[in-house]
């Protein structure tokens, strides 16, 4: 089977370029998706994931991540983790080495240290300057964010996904979004497909979006239909709640290698698709 990787936002290209050669050489979907996510965590120029990520109100970079293996539904997650750069790899370790699915805060950090993860300052001069500027603006209406969600299909036809983020800029200390929550920011099942989200996590959580998309794939819809369904639901819920739909985008991949993406109107969402020896950027359909 021809492997494929898809990843959110412009920096998804970096993820896809790291993951695709691994998939082509026969790597498992989870290994490839994790390598892709880690390339983004390592890039200080990406200001919403890993090293150089967006700080919370206290000026602390606090990271969330999860992983899921579509073969077995094995999954792991971490949330509110400080001073650890590779939180996606940490989430995988939670999956592999503990009887639990999720560790948070100090417990997650302790577990990381026990397994040899270095404690690091995750700030860059640019991330500190961004935090200071935002603090002066005293505005919570223009929060910035963005998550890398990587979905991969390997040569054996198996699916996996990884999601990693610093969440919303200037978030309240302790705030956790959708990204580390299985069924919200990510869900993967070889029997149906893989799906993930990015954008304002509270709204993605509210509709259990990735679960909705994978169940729609299970019912026979295409990845494009599944993403549009979730985006439409976000818009409908926004109307019921009398609020403007938040900036949200979804991606999905089925076990045959079909891909889909959709976003709410006003979200200029691009995503990367890596297949064969080529990675290309695509723009998602916007739902009003
Ligand atoms: N979903 C992330 C969160 O709410 C942010 C993003 O993907 O833009 O933490």
- The two tokens of residue 149 are 């969600």
Query: Count of alpha carbons within 13 Å of 21, Cβ hemisphere only?
Result: 4
CA–CA distance, 23 with 7 (Å, rounded to integer): 14
Instruction: Evaluate whether the domain defined by 4-287 bears CATH number 3.20.20.70.
Output: no
- For the entire predicted model, the pTM comes to 0.97
Instruction: Render pLDDT for 136-164 as a digit per residue (tens, 0 to 9).
Output: 665 555 578 899 999 999 999 999 999 99
Ligand 1 touching residue 178 (CB < 6 A): yes
CA–CA distance, 220 with 61 (Å, rounded to integer): 40
**Helix, strand or coil, per DSSP, at residue 53:** coil
Ligand 1 touching residue 167 (CB < 6 A): yes
* Local structure of residue 200 (DSSP, 8 states): -
Domain ranges of the chain: 4-287
pLDDT value of residue 4 = 98
Taking the alpha carbons of 32, 34, 37, 39 in that order, is the dihedral positive or negative?
negative
- Region 203-210: what's the mean pLDDT? 98
Calculate the average pLDDT of the chain: 96
pLDDT value of residue 134 = 78
CA–CA distance, 217 with 184 (Å, rounded to integer): 15
Instruction: Render pLDDT for 82-126 as a digit per residue (tens, 0 to 9).
Output: 999 999 999 999 999 999 999 999 999 999 999 999 999 999 999
Ligand 1 centroid – CA 47 distance (Å): 12
Is 24 tagged catalytic? no
Catalytic entry in 147, 149, 164, 198: 147
- To test ligand 1's pocket by mutation, which of 15, 147, 251 has the most ligand atoms within 8 angstroms of CB? 147
Ligand 1 touching residue 158 (CB < 6 A): no
Instruction: Say if CB 69 and CB 188 are below 8 A apart.
Output: yes
User: Per-residue pLDDT for 221 more than 80?
Assistant: yes
Ligand 1 centroid – CA 145 distance (Å): 6
Residue listed under structure tokens 């959580």? 205
Ligand 1 touching residue 199 (CB < 6 A): yes
Going by C-alpha positions, the residue among 280, 100, 103, 85 that lies closest to residue 180 is 103
pLDDT value of residue 101 = 98
Q: How many residues does the chain have?
A: 288
Ligand 1 touching residue 179 (CB < 6 A): yes
Residue 236 CB partners (closer than 8 Å, separation 6+): none
Query: Residue 28, by phi and psi: left (phi above 0), alpha (psi -120 to 50) or beta?
Result: beta
Residue 21 binned pLDDT confidence (cut-offs 50, 70, 90):
very high
């Amino acid at each position: 089977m021809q492997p494929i990787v898809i990843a959110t936002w412009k920096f998804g290209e970096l993820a896809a370029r790291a993951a695709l050669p691994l998939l082509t050489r026969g790597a498992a979907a989870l290994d490839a998706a994790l390598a892709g996510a880690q390339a983004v965590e390592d890039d200080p120029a990406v200001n919403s994931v890993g090293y150089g990520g967006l700080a919370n109100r206290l000026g602390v970079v606090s990271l969330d991540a999860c992983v899921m293996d579509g073969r077995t539904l094995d999954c792991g997650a971490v949330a509110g983790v400080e001073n650890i750069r590779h939180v996606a790899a940490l989430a995988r370790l939670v999956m592999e080495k503990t009887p639990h699915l999720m560790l948070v805060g100090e417990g997650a950090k302790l577990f990381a240290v026990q397994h040899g993860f270095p404690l690091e300052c995750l700030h860059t001069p640019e991330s500190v300057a961004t935090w200071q500027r935002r603090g002066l603006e005293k505005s919570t209406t223009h929060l910035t964010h963005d998550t890398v969600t990587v979905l991969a299909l390997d040569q054996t036809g198996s699916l996996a996904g990884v999601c990693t983020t610093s969440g919303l800029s200037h978030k309240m200390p302790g705030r956790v979004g959708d990204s580390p929550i299985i069924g919200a920011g990510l869900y993967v099942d070889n029997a149906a497909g893989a799906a993930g989200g990015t954008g304002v996590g509270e709204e993605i959580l509210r509709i259990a979006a990735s679960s909705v998309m994978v169940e729609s794939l299970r019912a026979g819809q295409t990845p494009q239909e599944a993403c549009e369904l979730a985006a439409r639901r976000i818009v409908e819920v926004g109307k019921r709640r009398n609020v403007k739909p938040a900036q949200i985008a979804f991606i999905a991949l089925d076990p045959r290698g079909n891909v889909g993406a959709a976003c709410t109107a006003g979200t200029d969402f691009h995503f990367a698709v890596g297949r064969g020896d080529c990675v290309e950027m695509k723009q998602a359909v916007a739902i009003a």
